[in-house]
Structure 1
Amino acid sequence: MNNEQIKLSPEMKKVFWRWYFFGQAGWNYEKMQGLGYYYSIYPLIDKLYGASDEGARVAVSELQFFNTNNSMAPIILGVDGAIQESQGESSKDAVASLKTGMMGPLAGIGDTLFAVIPNTIIGSIASYMALKGNPFALILWIAFGFLRLAVMRSFFFMGYKEGVKLINSLGDRLKKITSAANVLGMTVIGALIPSVITAGFVYQFKNGGVKISIQSLADQIMPGLAPALVVLFTYWLLGRKHMNSTRVTLILILVGILAYNLKIFA
């Protein structure tokens, strides 16, 4: 399919504008941007599935945890929309895995390009101008806002176009896409565990002049064993009845306090 033939449907245009204005409106500590993502993609879900059991299953999938840089998210929304328009509910697992795999790398890139650099450079220039009474300081931020909007729209179309190419080129090999995306998603999660969770064993076995650190033994078995155990415990809790992310968070806080005071974890 040529680029000229790729057109955004009215629903996909609504998806973009919903994200632009309200993507962060439903932010919370359980789903992060998950609610805003679902609100954004809802017009497409409603068009494709309506009030059906199929639509309900897709909605639950789209309502899961999501967190990335706000300006980079349109890439994911574009890919998501293109795949769903072509494959329907059968793409549910592939979309979920692609979201998991893409949101981490895009967050790092986006935070640098749209937060660190602009806030440092434009913020410094605008602050100096404001101190001198120059009204162009305000105009500078407004201009950056319009530039960011243009870039976000470009990202959205780029994501949609690449999603269309993905489906057209791979056709019925969606299961392979799903498997690859699952591997990518699990790889990203696995890499984040030791870098985000800093738990470590404190206890040392002492016998006469001999000291053996549990942490050193754990490192020989598997580096990052303590963080991995914390994650496994968290997943186990999430699989229990009447358990949600908020309750799991409170349990982890309590366990962390007890483990620290009992000199188990540091």
Structure 2
Amino acid sequence: MDSNREESKTIQITEKDVKNSWLLHYIVAEVGISYERLQALGLTVSLLPVLRKLYKTKSDIADAMRRHLVFFNTEAVFGSLINGIVISMEEQKARGEDINTEAITGIKTGLMGPLAGIGDSIDWATFKPIIFALAATLSAKGNPLGAFVLLVLPMIQIIIGRQLSAFGYRIGRDSVTELLSSGRIQQLITAAKTLGLYMMGALSSTYIAVTTPVKFVFGQGNAPFVLQKVLDSIAPGLIPLAIVFFIYWWLNHKNQNLAVVVLLLVAIALVGSFIGVLAPVNS
């Protein structure tokens, strides 16, 4: 193990490695996507060339892969900062620095939400409409350039993503070194976990959209008693919150069989919808 660590200290990750890793992530980020892990599989695949360069034993590579096969979801272009920072932290860890799994996971979880918001606003809500509108205008006039203008968007994305991933690697490398020397790594982990929990709560409320149409009428001529309005007056989103707590309780106290949980939720949704107790938000 000591010889492997000494060998890892001599390994130098280059910015070319970082940029190529992100480019692979750009291509495969949505491949193998699932509600359980979303982009985690694509991220892990893109990091594999770097991880194989940093770690020399199968067990170390397997441990690194497990670190990155947890839930991950962000906007791939501006989220490239995360790719660079994570590679920087993995490099420091491979060299024997005191960086644990929680630190790496916390950084990813804490940054994926804010960077997704920035990327969606700039990349998909600004660049894409402008470029696609220009392409549609040219195509409507019979100009064949309209078909090729669409390629401007991925070109811009690749340029931005490669540069931001390299920038993330540079600031990540310097930041990690400074944090380790100052002893503030635990504060960083706590802050990242807190932000990550906040973002996971926001994601949960977004993905789980359930209401109840149940209402009662007490006495003729009286306004109906709408259960959903009562729940919303207490705290909006109580039903999605209850579902999240139920899933957490089940996985924490019963078992880790996600297939059973999914089938149970589908059954509850079907029965609840059939008897008129549950309904999607947009219904």
- TM-score, scaled to structure 1: 0.82
Q: CA deviation at 1:187?
A: 1.1
User: 5+ unaligned residues in a row in structure 1: which ranges?
Assistant: 1-5
Report 1:1-266 matches (<5 A).
Answer: 8=14, 11-88=17-94, 90-171=99-180, 172-204=183-215, 214-215=227-228, 218-219=231-232, 222-239=235-252, 240-241=254-255, 243-244=257-258, 246-266=259-279
Look up the equivalent residue of 1:79 and give its one-letter code. I
Q: CA, structure 1 residues 74+141, in 2 after alignment: closer, same or farther (shift >3 Å)?
A: same
Look up the equivalent residue of 1:198 and give its one-letter code. A
> For the residues of structure 1 that align with 2:256 and 2:244, how far apart are their CA atoms?
19
What is the percent sequence identity of the aligned residues?
28
SS in structure 2 of the partner of residue 66 of structure 1: coil
> For the residues of structure 2 that align with 1:168 and 1:248, how far apart are their CA atoms?
42
Aligned length: 260
Does the 8 A contact of 2:22 with 2:162 survive in 1? yes
Q: CA deviation at 1:34?
A: 1.4
Q: Tell me which moved more, 155-164 or 103-112.
A: 103-112
Q: CA, structure 1 residues 113+224, in 2 after alignment: closer, same or farther (shift >3 Å)?
A: same
User: 5+ unaligned residues in a row in structure 2: which ranges?
Assistant: 1-11
Look up the equivalent residue of 1:155 and give its one-letter code. L
Q: CA, structure 1 residues 10+91, in 2 after alignment: closer, same or farther (shift >3 Å)?
A: farther
Q: CA deviation at 1:20?
A: 3.0
SS in structure 1 of the partner of residue 109 of structure 2: helix
Does the 8 A contact of 1:193 with 1:231 survive in 2? yes
Q: CA, structure 1 residues 60+131, in 2 after alignment: closer, same or farther (shift >3 Å)?
A: same
Q: State the Cα deviation string for residues 93-121 of structure 1 (Å, max 9, x = none).
A: 12212222222222232223222333322
Q: State the Cα deviation string for residues 108-155 of structure 1 (Å, max 9, x = none).
A: 322232223333222122122123332332342333432221111111
Q: CA deviation at 1:7?
A: 7.3
Q: CA deviation at 1:220?
A: 5.7
Q: CA, structure 1 residues 200+27, in 2 after alignment: closer, same or farther (shift >3 Å)?
A: closer
Q: CA deviation at 1:258?
A: 1.5
Structure 1 runs of 4+ aligned residues shifted over 6 Å read none
Look up the equivalent residue of 2:200 and give its one-letter code. I
SS in structure 2 of the partner of residue 24 of structure 1: coil
> For the residues of structure 2 that align with 1:66 and 1:37, how far apart are their CA atoms?
8
Q: CA, structure 1 residues 128+217, in 2 after alignment: closer, same or farther (shift >3 Å)?
A: closer
Q: CA deviation at 1:22?
A: 2.8
Q: CA deviation at 1:185?
A: 0.3
> For the residues of structure 1 that align with 2:271 and 2:28, how far apart are their CA atoms?
40
Q: Tell me which moved more, 23-32 or 72-81.
A: 23-32
> For the residues of structure 1 that align with 2:196 and 2:260, how far apart are their CA atoms?
25
Q: CA deviation at 1:207?
A: 6.3
> For the residues of structure 2 that align with 1:144 and 1:212, how far apart are their CA atoms?
51
